[in-house]
A and B are shown apart, each in its own frame.
Chain A
């Protein structure tokens, strides 16, 4: 039932047609982290490009199979953040939030992990179904930077895979991790972002006003944070989403 509704939202709101048994994976990342390389190496030539409905932002979808499961990989616009200050950020946020992909693959640049982690943390606040791909490991090695994948996994509490997509390194591990996350019935619990006391207080206070979403598909804490951001685009996004659901 839920899966059917999700597919319908995907179709009507995002123009993405997934077959009923197909697993949908969103691909997110900062600009210039080799996101397209990861996309290409996973999907090969089975790609389809177009625009996001009603937007002039490119949209690419590709298909691949792993362990007899068909994956539909949706390439989101490259963004530094999901706080939705730009059309690109809004598209990426809305897709991860309302499109309910079975997994979200966040590609990070190993040579500047700190800046990239910002996006990863924002994705993890929306959904626990996340695989982190630390790409450009080869370049990092050349620069003398070593990313400790195990530590990163422990800190974030979601699967982390180190890759060098250009030379095909780590791609099988990536598929395995995606399959695990997309097919598991109960997702894990990522480490929460730690906020300063003032923010926590404000979230607590607002949470009571968000009882209505307590058991719904939206993450209450995340919604509280976004309302506190005061970005009007989230309200529009939620309204459209519930209109779709109540159809």
Chain B
């Protein structure tokens, strides 16, 4: 036995290996894995005789869905179609619900005016609490109730692993794990759930990376904001027939932007504080299945929609009441809200929004679902009293408060990129067990949101587009 080895030969050899790897553009590891698999495939082809019902169409479908040429376009089209159906389908019930709640509010107000309750009680209960909940339900519920079943259907069909497969090489190039595509899909439902699902990533470095960037996928609390603003503001300028399609395009573009920023931030992280090379993974592509429609609808309505809505309402009720109190408690000539919003105004304007929007995002920290209700309440409490019964009126309220298309785009960008909600932050703390990474999971999106909005706003203003 050669017991006289010294370590030096190993160091020399590994330096040499590093040099060879560089020379082959770091492709050697991938080639080795590929070759192993093609050897296995060849042997299996010779040794296995299968009389099983041919998987021909399965394979053909996979060849299209995961091909270099069609993989990405198909992904975009499917995502766009899901958003389009959501927007088209959500418009009608949304208006209906808004109308219903506004009728109900009239009744409540009438009831309160004949009984002898003080005005502030009516304010807190009806104008605050009730309106907050009403707004959450009418703006948030319809898109959720349509988006979730559609997304779950894609999941049930077996399409999501194909998405992970398509995106794998990009993630790898950014130093992240391909499984991150799956944790991001979970993030569409809820970022806290997305962060928990990062457990499927083995490497601790890649797991932290997936947790820190999960927030760049708009969760169900945020994407109705994108849909609402996209529908009424960007698409609102266009003729009626085109509106839904354009709104779907805008929302899709936002999601794609979120994915691109995920890649960018991952790349940056893997070259700075989370240095390292990406590891390979085994991804099983399950056979396509006919989704079970009834269980899917049940699961997505009960598990997701109702659960998420309950959380939103629990947050929205007190937040609505609190906002009303803040908006109606005067210090000097102005309410507390106006004082804070005025103080935030310069910062808000720098990034193309205003102090109220920024304040709404800050108050929305417990749950993003309540950002729009809070914002509306703040706008409405400052004078321009508009009865909000439809999206068209929402648009009017916003325009009355000085919104331009630039404000709308920045609002969407900020929604997409800003800090995670408290639930997500707590989940990151629980999963990573580290205060440092929790702080990073707050700071990275926050800095990104401010930077992107700042650069965009300044560029637009410099070019004189507004």
Binding site for B on A (CB under 8 A): 1-2, 5, 80-81, 83, 85-86, 113-115, 117-118, 120-122, 143-149, 151-152, 155-156, 193-196, 198-199, 202, 205-206, 209-213, 215-217, 223-225, 227-231, 235, 238-239, 242, 245-246
Contact = CB atoms under 8 A, between A and B. Distances in A.
B24 A117 contact: no
Contact of A216 (B2, B7, B44): B2
B40 A146 contact: no
30 contacts: A81-B282, A86-B202, A86-B203, A114-B41, A117-B39, A122-B36, A144-B52, A145-B50, A146-B48, A147-B48, A147-B49, A155-B43, A194-B35, A194-B39, A198-B27, A199-B28, A205-B20, A212-B5, A212-B9, A216-B5, A224-B17, A225-B32, A227-B14, A227-B17, A228-B21, A228-B32, A230-B17, A230-B29, A245-B3, A246-B3
Interface string B1-45: 111010101101110111011001011110111111101110110
Contacts of B13: 206, 209-210, 223, 227
Interface string B261-288: 0000000000000000101111010000
A83 B48 contact: no
A230 B35 contact: no
A211 B12 CA distance: 11
A94 to B, nearest CB: 16
A194 B34 CA distance: 11
Interchain residue pairs A-B with the least CB separation, the first 10: A114-B44, A117-B40, A227-B17, A212-B9, A144-B51, A85-B279, A80-B282, A152-B47, A209-B13, A86-B202
A158 B355 CA distance: 74
A215 B3 CA distance: 11
A206 B10 CA distance: 11
Contacts of A83: 33, 280
Contacts of A149: 47
Contacts of A195: 31-32, 35
A156 to B, nearest CB: 7
A70 to B, nearest CB: 25
A1 B3 CA distance: 12
Contacts of A228: 17, 20-21, 28-29, 32
Contact of B16 (A5, A193, A209): A209
A198 B24 contact: yes
A183 B287 CA distance: 43
Contacts of A235: 10, 14
Nearest to B9: A212
A113 B44 contact: yes
Contacts of B436: none
Given A209-B9, A239-B10, A198 B31 contact: yes
Nearest to B31: A199
Nearest to B26: A230
Contacts of A80: 282
Main secondary structure on B side of the interface with A: helix
Nearest to A125: B36
B60 interface: no
Classify chain B: how many residues form its interface, as a range: 35 or more
B46 interface: yes
Contact of A206 (B17, B31, B32, B37): B17
B268 to A, nearest CB: 22
Contacts of A198: 24, 27-28, 31
A210 to B, nearest CB: 5
Contacts of B20: 202, 205-206, 228
Given A121-B39, A206-B17, A230-B277, A148 B49 contact: yes
A88 to B, nearest CB: 9
B281 to A, nearest CB: 7
A193 B12 CA distance: 26
Contact of B47 (A147, A199, A217, A242): A147
Given A85-B280, A215-B2, A230-B28, 12 more contacts: A5-B1, A113-B48, A114-B41, A117-B44, A120-B40, A155-B46, A199-B31, A202-B20, A227-B13, A228-B17, A230-B18, A242-B7
A85 B276 CA distance: 13
Contacts of B284: 115
B207 to A, nearest CB: 12
A165 to B, nearest CB: 19
Interface string B362-385: 000000000000000000000000
Of A2, A115, A117, most B-chain CB atoms within 10 Å: A117
